[in-house]
Amino acid sequence: MAIIAQDRIQAAKQDGVLLLGLNHPPLNTLDHPLRQQLHDALQAAAEDASVQAIVLHGTQGNFSAGADIREFDQPRQAPWAGDLASLIAASGKPVVAALEGVALGGGLELALAAHARVGSASARLGLPEVKLGLLPGGGGTQRLPRLIGAAHALPLILEGRSVDGKAALALGLLDQVCDEAGLLDCAVRKARALCAGNPVSRRDTSSSSEVQAGLAALAAQRQRLAAKPHVLPAQRLLLDCLQAALEQPLKDGLKFERDAFLQCVASAEHKGLAHAFFAERQAGKSPAGQARPRPVQRAGVIGGGTMGAGIAVAMLGAGLDVVLIERDAAALQSGRERIDGIYQRQIKSGRLDAAALDRHLSRLSAATDYAALSTADLVVEAVFEDMDVKTQVFAQLDRVCKPGAILATNTSYLDINQIARSISRPQDVIGLHFFSPANIMKLLEIVVPEQVADDVVATGFALARRLGKVPVRAGVCDGFIGNRILYVYREAANHMMEDGASPYQIDQALERFGYAMGPFRTADLTGGDIGWATRKRKAPTRPPEARYVRVADRLCERGWFGQKTGRGYYLYPERGQRGKPDADVLALIDEERAARGITARAFSDEDIVRRYMAALINEAAKVLDDGIALRPADIDAALVNGYGFPRWRGGPMKYADDAGLAAVLADIESYAKEDAAFWAPAPLLQRLAREGSTFGKLNQPQ
């Protein structure tokens, strides 16, 4: 029977070896047409006497990134990836998988079912399904532990970690690492060797010692999960699946896995994580239309403080040449020491090796003279948050930078339109708001002032992708998207604290909700002096009727700025500790209540979460109405990636839709009886609630 090439499968023969190429670029996602065509090709190959062996590979540089997750909410269509994996595993003709680029999720599951696997050194292999609240549903939890042992498979599956070809070879996940240019030839040779009777490398059993080691690793992991405030259903079910791989025959284990996979698909956590995934995709689309990014290779960073050092490391890691500018030699030395400190932590954690460090540092230079920026394609200032200081910096940049250089500010709050108007080239000025630590945090707010050129905006989005960031477009206002919303929900927390809830109860309630840290613990981490400076700046424009809680100011007046001073809302007897409640802080709060004539009242944890979220959602709706955010997905992407909103809930707009906008509005209207100014309902929220609509419908293309 002839093998007929179709649009998603390329077929070719080499002396009895059939090459089947997955051809659904760019990532060869396993959508239904591809699965059906591969199924048909494999069945035809089984019936074709001229085919002695099969090589499964990807076209255009990738094997397969796995499932098309858009299909998960649609009626299921056979064959699914598990059917294909079973067909490959049962093949009477050897199947060799040739892996390059990405071999992830369902793509790797196809390879695990093969009789052998070869790959390039740069290939990325992994089962990342847990990041979407899922588990591998095509045999991955059963075949991977049988191949490399459950103890080695556990972190790969539970953390969704990927490994390169060399690491995969060491684990036994690959049989051979080949030169990328000769990968298919290598796979064909392997297939012919299997035909000649050489041992098949696939294992279907584990030794008793491997079983015992696997069971011990699973028991230890169950204990770790039990200590966490929230665990994804997928994480618990993954452990059950791995235990099934150790204790049950493969056929039974595959059925157990499939049932567990379907439970995960139906879970609220999967729906939230999938929403966050698609929100980031939407947010990452540049609003600049077809404008082409300007080329960027040489970058300048002004300011070697915590933020500037992090920005420099992020850029160096992306292959950019970086010039660090500081005001004098001592400040410059401090900046270089901060950069070195970041790199030393990366080396200690194993995320960087000496050779990579040398490559990064070879592209770093430093100067105190702005003339060193004369050839820069892009400059990011990260100096003190003061308008006069920043406009002085931009005056210097206007003088020394070449025509077409992009001039970016990392301001968190200030008016970028004012900065742009202060120089002769406002079209080149943009906001690139990084989040600390800038080399780690994923969010990059791209703040678009009124006169900026489209290609500058396009460059901001291209740079974010190059740096591995999640870009979100923001309009100009005090705080942009994230910090404007943060200010309001932090105020709601302050009000609850003054009205009777302790900062420790508030933190605990929100950490149980899913935040890694509550607002007061976060304030101690970032430093109370930063918020204090912002409050002082805003004081002249604060409405006289607005409620103002003085507790944070009084802590700062005592020099209690948080972790860096050993105390803030919490006590930090030793560096690196999580922090302990402080009786002196509670006494100070009592003093403030007495001064205001406030009688403390009790708040339940549910009360705390509802008020906190109502304030967040209400201000987010105003941000949308004002055009500061283009769509609800942008707010979800920003709050998840920059402000600790629990990713498995999808984002605050998704959470609001799940809670019901009418219910959220009813809470806000109830709270408004206490403070009408603070709790003024957003007109957009009122309209959507009245219409029975959702924020999610605003995300949909018009």
In 228-265, which positions are buried (b, 16+ CB within 10 angstroms) versus exposed (e)?
Answer: eeeebbbbebbbbbbbbbbeeebeebbebbbebbeebb
**6: which DSSP letter?**
B
In contact, 477 and 484? CB cutoff 8 Å: yes
**3-class state of residue 249 by DSSP:** coil
State the catalytic residue, choosing from 129, 210, 498, 619.
129
Strand partners, 434: 444
State the catalytic residue, choosing from 71, 100, 109, 445.
109
Residue type, 267: S
For Cα atoms 657, 659, 662, give the angle at the middle one, nearest 5 degrees. 80
Rounded Cα distance between 174 and 178, Å, is: 10
CA nearest to 20, candidates 45, 2, 1: 45
CA 462 distance to own-chain centroid: 17
Rounded Cα distance between 331 and 340, Å, is: 14
Rounded Cα distance between 557 and 551, Å, is: 10
In the annotation, is 385 catalytic? no
Rounded Cα distance between 422 and 444, Å, is: 24
Strand partners, 443: 470
Cis, bond preceding 471 (omega within 30 deg of 0): no
Residue found under tokens 């920003």: 638
Rounded Cα distance between 369 and 424, Å, is: 21
Rounded Cα distance between 348 and 655, Å, is: 38
99 phi and psi angles, rounded to 5 deg: -110, 125
CA 139 distance to own-chain centroid: 26
In contact, 473 and 287? CB cutoff 8 Å: yes
CB atoms within 10 A of CB 42: 23
Helix, strand, coil abundance in the chain, percent, nearest 5:
55, 10, 35
**3-class state of residue 174 by DSSP:** coil
For Cα atoms 259, 9, 274, give the angle at the middle one, nearest 5 degrees. 40
Sign of torsion over alpha carbons 168, 174, 179, 184: negative
Where residue 579 falls (left for φ over 0; alpha for ψ -120 to 50; beta otherwise) is left
CA nearest to 264, candidates 140, 149, 154: 140
CA nearest to 318, candidates 468, 472, 470: 468
CB atoms within 10 A of CB 450: 11
482-499 helix and 605-625 helix, angle to the nearest 10 degrees? 150
In contact, 628 and 481? CB cutoff 8 Å: yes
The size of the chain, in residues, is 702
In the annotation, is 129 catalytic? yes
Rounded Cα distance between 306 and 151, Å, is: 39
Both tokens of 455, joined, read: 């290609």
In 202-226, which positions are buried (b, 16+ CB within 10 angstroms) versus exposed (e)?
Answer: beeebeeebbebbbebbeebeeebe
Task: Give the active site residues.
Answer: 109, 129
